[in-house]
Amino acid sequence: MSKSDDDNLRPATKLVQGGRRPEWTGDPRLGGSVVNPPVWRASTILYDNIADLEARGHATHDKLYYGRRGTPTVWALADALTGMEPGAAGTLLYPSGVAANSAGLLALLAPGDHLLMVDSAYEPTRAFCDGLLTRYGVTTTYYDPLIGAGIADLITPATKLIFLESPGSLTFEVQDIPAITRVARERGVLTMLDNTWATPLLFPALAHGVDVTMMSLTKYVGGHSDAMMGSLTATKAVWPRLRSAAYQLGQAVSPDDCALMLRGLRTLDVRMARHGENGLAVANWLAARPEVGRVLHPALPGDPGHAIWSRDFGGTSGLFGFTLKGADIAARARFIDALSLFGIGFSWGGYESLVVPGNPIRTATEWTDPDPLIRLSVGLEDPVDLIADLERGFAAL
Ligand SMILES: Cc1ncc(COP(=O)(O)O)c(C=O)c1O
C-alpha cells in the first residue's frame, strides 16, 4: 500500500507519494529507506529452494518472479499511475505509447469483432487498425469525433470497443466522453481513451466512465524527451484481460526508463500548469495575428470544443494547433524553418518547445480547412521569447 492509494489525497499529492511503498524504498536490514524506489535491474530472480520457486510460479503482479514481470522500480511506476485514476484496478507498462495502444486493442478484440475508432486518432493508431487488426479479422468503423451520444447509431451486435482520443492530438476536437461512455455502458460496449494530452491530472478518465485509459508516457509524464513508454490503466472488470494479454505478448520495460518516468511524474503538476499557461499566452497572441486563420485550442473561449472542455477538463496542456490564412505548403515550410527556439521534431510534452506541420487524415469526416496547419508543443521557456521566435516565422512568410 502506498500513500497514493488514499483517494482522499489530491492529485498533486498523489504524484509525489505514488509508488513509494515502504517495501520498495526501504530495507529494515539497512536501517532506513530512500526517497525514490531504487533501480532494480533483473532478468533472473533467485529462489531459496524448489518449494519457493513453485509457490511463486503463481505469483501475483507485484512479486519477484522473472525479469519480464517487473521489479519494484516497474511496479512503483505502475502503482503511482494507478493511484492517479480513482476506480482503477491496475496499470500495465509498454515500451511505447503505440505499443500500449496496440496491446490494448489486441487484448480487448477478437476476430469477427467490430471497433469504433475516432476519426481524429493519432495516425499510427489508425495504421494499426487498418493493418494488423484487419488481418486479425477485426473491422473498424471510423466515427466523427463530435458524434457524442449519436455513437449509439453506429453500434452493431459485433461492436466490442469504442476508442476515443480527446482532444485529437493534431486537430484538437473535444469529444463528449461522458455521453459516449454512457451509451457504451448501456449497450455493453467497452471504451478505451488515449488520454496523453490531458493525463489523469487534467482528466481522470475512469471517473468519466472510460474502461481503459492509455497514455504515451513519452510525452508529459516523462517530460524531458529522453525516454519512451506507454501505459494502460483499467477498471477491475477489464484488468485481468489486459494483464493476461500483456503476459502473452511479453513486452517489458526497462527499470532505468521507469526511474526516469517516476522522476518526471513527481513534477507533472507544476510542469503541466506552466505548459498550459505558456501555451495559452502563445495561443492568444497567435489568435490576434492577421496571418492566422484559426487557433485550434479548446481552452480558448471561441473554440468549438470550449464548452465541453470547460465542463470536463481540469486545465490545459501546452499542445495545440493553428492555421496560416491563405498560405501554401511552401510558406508553411518557410515559417517553420525560420524558428529557432521551437525545434522541428515529433513527439511533444517535453520541457522544450517543438513545432511540426500537420496534415490531418480523415475517412469518416472531411477536413475542409484549406489553410495549412501547424502544431506547437509549448514548453517551459518564457513565452515572451517564444512569441519573438514566432514573429520571425511570420516575417519569413
Ligand atoms: C496522441 C498520441 N498517442 C500515442 C502516441 C504514441 O506514443 P509513443 O511515441 O510513445 O509511441 C503519440 C505520439 O506522438 C501521440 O501523439
User: Cβ atoms within 10 A of the Cβ of 357, count?
Assistant: 14
Angle at 225 between CA 219 and CA 230, to 5 degrees: 40
Q: What are phi and psi of 93, to 5 degrees?
A: -115, 145
Counting atoms of ligand 1 from 1, which one is nearest the CA of 121?
A: 1
Counting atoms of ligand 1 from 1, which one is nearest the CA of 219?
A: 10
The reported pLDDT for the residue numbered 27 is: 85
pLDDT exceeds 60 at position 1: no
Does the C-beta of 194 come closer than 6 Å to ligand 1? yes
Burial class (CB in 10 A: 0-12, 13-18, 19+), 236: exposed
Active site residue 122: yes
Q: Cell numbers of 163, please?
A: 476508442
The reported pLDDT for the residue numbered 89 is: 97
pLDDT in tens, 303-317: 999 999 999 999 999
CA separation (Å) from 367 to 44, 202, 291, 299, 394?
52, 27, 20, 21, 24
Please, are residues 373 and 170 in contact by the beta-carbon 8 Å criterion? yes
Does the C-beta of 239 come closer than 6 Å to ligand 1? no
Does the C-beta of 347 come closer than 6 Å to ligand 1? yes
CA distance 117 to 142: 5
Q: In testing the pocket of ligand 1, which one of 119, 218, 221, 226 has its CB within 8 Å of the most ligand atoms?
A: 218
Please, are residues 82 and 92 in contact by the beta-carbon 8 Å criterion? no
Query: Which residue has cell 500500500?
Result: 1
The reported pLDDT for the residue numbered 160 is: 98
Beta-carbon-side half-sphere exposure of residue 321 (alpha carbons within 13 Å): 24
Q: Cell numbers of 121, please?
A: 486518432
Beta strand extents in the chain (DSSP E only): 26-27, 32-33, 90-94, 114-118, 139-143, 159-165, 190-194, 212-216, 230-234, 292-296, 319-324, 343-344, 354-358, 373-377
Q: Taking residues 177-199, report their average pLDDT.
A: 98
User: Angle, to 10 degrees, between the axis of helix 268-287 and the axis of helix 255-266?
Assistant: 70
Phi-psi region of 122 (alpha: psi -120 to 50; beta: other; left: phi over 0): beta
CA separation (Å) from 97 to 2, 87, 178, 216?
26, 22, 24, 4
pLDDT exceeds 70 at position 82: yes
pLDDT in tens, 15-61: 999 999 999 999 888 899 999 999 999 999 999 999 998 888 765 66
**pTM above threshold 0.85:** yes
